[in-house]
Structure 1
């Protein structure tokens, strides 16, 4: 069972960035809860653990301490941005990140951008507590800007929140190599009505030779009219 630690930034007395009727802590919690639900619902052998599942305040050291103690395989810290001019999405790893953290960032960033679109502010590194003190591959995502009107309008839409969630889920699943619970449906090959089934070959040949059938289209559905003709011939 692989463990994914999702950290909803801020919370409680710490609202994070606030603008345009949005509090960062609320968006971070919605996205985090959505990631947990979708990952566990869609993929095999994965458990999602949360720093917080309600609007409570947690110190940064408590967040990473819990993730480390749980032995999580990856950590993703969810945030929104502010003060960014045109807005957009960006992600962060630690300045001296491991190769696995770099790979996680690349995979996650590309998956989110493929779903979200818009302005890509790039994959960056910074001395942030959540990615520095985590013992597992760790990435912090900044999902649009609350103080950019266009971004804020997007964050107020349930469809955009869903898209952000899906991007994170796809990235995490790809990095961990998770197996989907949904079995691939194989397309049904259309039957050739001119070829008789093996189990019916003898009967079809016999009845055709007797004149009850014309020997054509053995796999075709039969109509009420054709049934009447067949019964007439038999009688």
Structure 2
């Protein structure tokens, strides 16, 4: 059985990381979505676990260690990781025009990481979350991200719309938006496991 690990990113004490009007705080939003994804996967019979139960920020090194410890326990080939975030076009406390979902992998990403990112991207399009942000020809963006780089299993970081775009924030905070973001993760993970783990 594949174990799906869910990382909810930053903590309540991480500076910034909120919409200009302070209605959306990334740490709280990511935790809510992570809980929903975990619950939905478990209801479908999958093994899912959040690696951060704390509300405060857990350093990346510790988050990576938690993932790798689980990989050692159950076998790296039996583990997937998705790290849930909100994007921002600027760190200036102002509203911006960039919108939409993106999936990110490490520069050292495995083929399974890239494929999981593609499943997430495809499902985001199905849910209408593409937005206007330009992305490379590939359906994922490769970056030097510790949570993807320093973990042993396939890993993808998702940026779920922009916390500094008014329309994205309205959608993110609505029940419809939360359901779309949750479904993007759950459907992509389930389909990926079915296709690649049998």
Smaller-chain TM-score bracket: 0.7 to 0.9
Match of residue 79 from structure 1: 85
The offset of 1:115, in angstroms, is 1.4
The offset of 1:52, in angstroms, is 1.9
Match of 2:146 among 119, 129, 138: 129
Q: What does 1:19-38 correspond to in 2, within 5 Å?
A: 19=19, 20=21, 21-38=23-40
Match of 1:145 among 153, 159, 162: 162
SS in 2 for 1:76: strand
Using a 3 Å threshold, how does the CA distance of structure 1 residues 32 and 47 change in structure 2: closer, same or farther? same
Q: Distance in 2 between matches of 1:26 and 1:99?
A: 31
Q: Confirm or deny: 8 A CA contact 1:93 1:139 kept in the other structure.
A: yes
Using a 3 Å threshold, how does the CA distance of structure 1 residues 109 and 15 change in structure 2: closer, same or farther? farther
The offset of 1:120, in angstroms, is 5.7
Return the index of the structure with the highest Cα Rg: 1
Match of residue 7 from structure 1: 7
SS in 1 for 2:38: helix
Match of residue 41 from structure 1: 43
Q: Confirm or deny: 8 A CA contact 1:81 1:146 kept in the other structure.
A: yes
Residue ranges of structure 1 left out of the alignment (5+ in a row): 179-235
The offset of 1:104, in angstroms, is 0.9
Q: TM-score when scaled to structure 2?
A: 0.83
- CA deviation vs aligned residue, 1:120-162 (integer Å, no higher than 9, x gap): 6432110011110111110000001111111111111012111
The offset of 1:12, in angstroms, is 3.0
Where has structure 1 moved over 3 Å in runs of 4 or more? none
Give the root-mean-square deviation of aligned CA atoms.
1.7
Q: Distance in 2 between matches of 1:88 and 1:50?
A: 24
The offset of 1:13, in angstroms, is 1.1
Q: TM-score when scaled to structure 1?
A: 0.70
Match of residue 118 from structure 2: 106
Tell me how many residue pairs correspond in the alignment.
176
The offset of 1:54, in angstroms, is 4.5
Q: Which has the higher contact order (CA 8 A, sep 6+)?
A: 2
The offset of 1:16, in angstroms, is 5.2
The offset of 1:15, in angstroms, is 5.5
